Amino acid sequence: MSKALTYGLLLSILMVIAPHADHLTLWVSSLCGILLLWRAYLNYSGKAQPKKWLLMLITFAGTGGIAVSFHTLFGREVGVTLLMLLATLKLMELRTARDAMAIIYLALFIIITNFFYSQSIPTALYMLATLFVITATWIQLHGRNIPLKPRLRVAAILLLQAIPLTLILFILFPRVQGPLWGLPQDAYSSSGLDDKMSPGSLSRLILSEAVAFRVSYKDKPPLREQMYWRGPVMWDFDGHAWTPGSTTEQFLAPQFTERSQTIDYTVTLEPHNKTWLFALDVPDMISLPATLSYDFRLYGKKPVNARVRYEARSNLGYRANLKESDTQIRRALQVPKRFNPRAQQLAAEWKAGYTNDAAIVQAALSFFNRQGFQYTLEPPLLGSNGIDDFLFETKQGFCEHYASAFVFLMRAANVPARVVTGYLGGEFNDIGNYYIVRQSDAHAWAEVWLNGQGWVRVDPTGVIAPARIQSGLSASVSNNAALPFMARNPPQWLRNLNLNWDALANQWNQWVLGYDNERQFAFLTRLGMESVTWQRMAVNMAAGLGLLVAVFALFMLRQLYTRNKTDKVQAAWLKLCKRMAKAGLPRAAHEGALDYAARIATARPEIAEPIHDLATRYSALRYGKIRDEQAQREFLQRISAMKT
């Protein structure tokens, strides 16, 4: 095993495990790093590879360590970690060509595991770079004495030739809707809204710039203050956290009346590993199989664990559940009596003071408005009577605090109310003409049930920080240092760059990552393929690949037959001889180039000099030892400029 080859394999393994560094357990990353360094040192110093028993020891210790820190040896995360450790250890016992080959195949396999975590454009580019390095190493394995430059050239050619072929395959390879077998629990990462809301849970989410979903509106987008995307609805409060709770009436259908302001839009939802789907209040139609719950949430059958795209229609004006069942009203009035006595006291005063529920709502909102409440991302910690502390002491909170306190007050004042979580607003991308809704747009608001009006949205945050609703987070928070960078107000050029990038990423998501059997069907139909069946796709694919490979073969093999420059030199010279023959000076069979030139020179003194020059150059190029491309080119130029 040559040193250079070992370095190549080291680099390959390093490149495939590097992207995993941030989600591997720290000690595994360190162990892999140390092993790689050790291997590099051994290779550099030319020392022997470690003994077999030592490797066995490390292998067992490592596997044991992984089993202990993960509490299992099964599952995706553990599998990836083990694979990484084994690949690194395999490098330590590099003896035969077969070992090297195993490492190359392992490296290729590890590239794929990285896609569990990211499939972005940078990841794709990094994959190409890694593949290039691996291929160059791979070639070295089968051509030991090929110098680096031609090796890289061959690797690049292979890769470049494979790219258009891959495009054909990618478009036409019949897609099967996975999964083929049950996936382990940890198969998908989840980020985004949770089905539990406690003080601090949303403000943590706000710190994430991750995209929750993207929306493109068919016609005019609605006003910002109408962009309420409904997520989990919280009914139950235990004094600290809100949860959706459960009801026996969960299959009750909602009733909407007086629908108006129809709006159509398309949502591309990032995977969040939960069943719910997001729609503007209140949804009317959706292109996916989904259910509209009794509290107006949309949810699918299975968790969204891959990016999903759906079209939906909503009515921004509506009246919802004018008649609500008693069970639900009772649920919407539940308050833990043990906590927050002052808040309950205040609510009792309102209840006594006002005759109708709408007035109580107004009273609560003006309470928030007048009592010097602040909207902040970093609220002080609250005690066990969190709502009392918030309402009467700290008076600093985030939307979740306001929604929570408001609903508590309503319930205590005997107004049915519930907390709704979701997203509000979004950033408009004028390059791609769509809205980006990020995790930092997460929001919580309230709904109260008023007799004669049904469920009505009340957003207490709007009273304290109206800017949050009308123009987004950064405008509403005074100290925005805690916000993610893009949620503050970055310079315009950076914003544009970011929007451009997101538009590109969106196309990538739609066309590359979201290319499933439906997309494939739609795309192929648009390309003009009638009745898209997998047989047809397979035939087209085979034909396309065959054609392209044939074209490549033609170009590649033509190289074998092209005449080289020396032949061209001779051909040009013979052509000149023919021209001279026409001019009445044919070359005799025995005559060498110089003799012939001398004869021409005496017969036609006016071209003596150029013809002598050409003849000298010709004999040097044809019979000399040097193969000088520059000289050949010069000769060819001169000979074509020659007048006879």
Partner 1 sequence: MLAKLKTRFRAWALRRQRHDDGTVTLTQRRIYIIPTRQGFALAFVLVLMLLGDINYNLSLGYVLTFLLAMMAVMSMLHAFRNMAQLQVRAGHAEPVFATESARFVFHFHNNSRLDRYQINLHDMQGHSTVFDVAALGHSEVILNIPATQRGWLKSGRVALYTHFPLGLFHAWSYLHFDIRCLVYPRPLSHAALPKGSTPDGAGKRSTAGDEDFAGLRNYVAGDALQRIAWKVLAREQGLKVKQFSTPLGEELWLDYSAATDRSDEEKLARMVRWVLDAEAQELRYGLRLPDGELPANLGAAHRDECLRRIALFNLPQQNDPLPLVGEGLGKGKL
Binding site for partner 1 (CB under 8 A): 101, 105, 108-109, 111-112, 115-116, 119, 123-124, 127, 131, 135, 138-139, 141-146, 150, 154, 158-159, 161-163, 165-166, 169-170, 173, 176, 178-181, 183, 187, 306, 512-516, 545, 549, 552-553, 556-557, 559-562, 564, 627
Nearer to partner 1, 492 or 562 (CB): 562
Output the smallest distance, CB 441 to partner 1, in A: 26
Kindly report each contact of residues 427-432 with a partner whose C-beta sits within 8 Å and lies 24 or more positions away, as own/partner: 427/472, 427/499, 428/221, 429/499, 429/502, 429/503, 429/506, 430/499, 431/496, 431/499, 431/500, 431/503, 432/216, 432/499, 432/502, 432/503, 432/506, 432/507
Nearer to partner 1, 98 or 643 (CB): 98
CA-wise closest residue to 371 among 343, 396, 342, 340: 396
Output the smallest distance, CB 556 to partner 1, in A: 5
Output the smallest distance, CB 141 to partner 1, in A: 7
The β-bridge relationship of strands 279-280 and 228-234 is antiparallel
Nearer to partner 1, 147 or 584 (CB): 147
Catalytic residue selected from 295, 389, 441, 459: 459
Nearer to partner 1, 157 or 207 (CB): 157
Query: Whole-angstrom Cα distance, residue 101 to residue 326?
Result: 70
Between vectors from CA 186 to CA 184 and to CA 191, what angle results, nearest 5°?
145
**DSSP state letters, 604-644:** -GGGHHHHHHHHHHHHHHHHSS---HHHHHHHHHHHHH---
CA-wise closest residue to 210 among 502, 408, 456: 502
Nearer to partner 1, 217 or 515 (CB): 515
Nearer to partner 1, 615 or 621 (CB): 621
Residue 415 near residue 448, CB atoms below 8 Å? yes
Output the smallest distance, CB 463 to partner 1, in A: 44
Task: Based on the residue annotation, tell me whether 430 is a catalytic residue of this protein.
Answer: no
**DSSP state letters, 317-369:** EEEE-SS--HHHHHHTT---TTS-HHHHHHHHHHHHH-SSHHHHHHHHHHHHH
Residue 93 near residue 49, CB atoms below 8 Å? yes
Output the smallest distance, CB 303 to partner 1, in A: 13
The number of CA neighbours under 13 Å toward the Cβ of 493 is 0
Output the smallest distance, CB 591 to partner 1, in A: 22
CA-wise closest residue to 633 among 616, 619, 621, 615: 621
Task: Based on the residue annotation, tell me whether 357 is a catalytic residue of this protein.
Answer: no
Rounded to 10 degrees, the C-alpha dihedral 21/25/26/29 comes to: -50
Catalytic residue selected from 389, 441, 443, 502: 443
Handedness of CA 93, 96, 101, 104 (dihedral sign): positive
Output the smallest distance, CB 148 to partner 1, in A: 13
Nearer to partner 1, 140 or 385 (CB): 140
Output the smallest distance, CB 389 to partner 1, in A: 46
Nearer to partner 1, 519 or 638 (CB): 519
Q: Inter-axis angle of helices 399-412 and 341-353, to 10 degrees?
A: 60
CA distances, 265 to each of 298, 488, 578 (Å): 15, 27, 76
Task: Based on the residue annotation, tell me whether 399 is a catalytic residue of this protein.
Answer: yes
Residue 193 near residue 232, CB atoms below 8 Å? yes
Output the smallest distance, CB 558 to partner 1, in A: 10
Query: Whole-angstrom Cα distance, residue 419 to residue 332?
Result: 10
Catalytic residue selected from 32, 399, 441, 502: 399
Neighbours of 381 (CB within 10 A): 9
Nearer to partner 1, 15 or 614 (CB): 15
Catalytic positions are 399, 443, 459
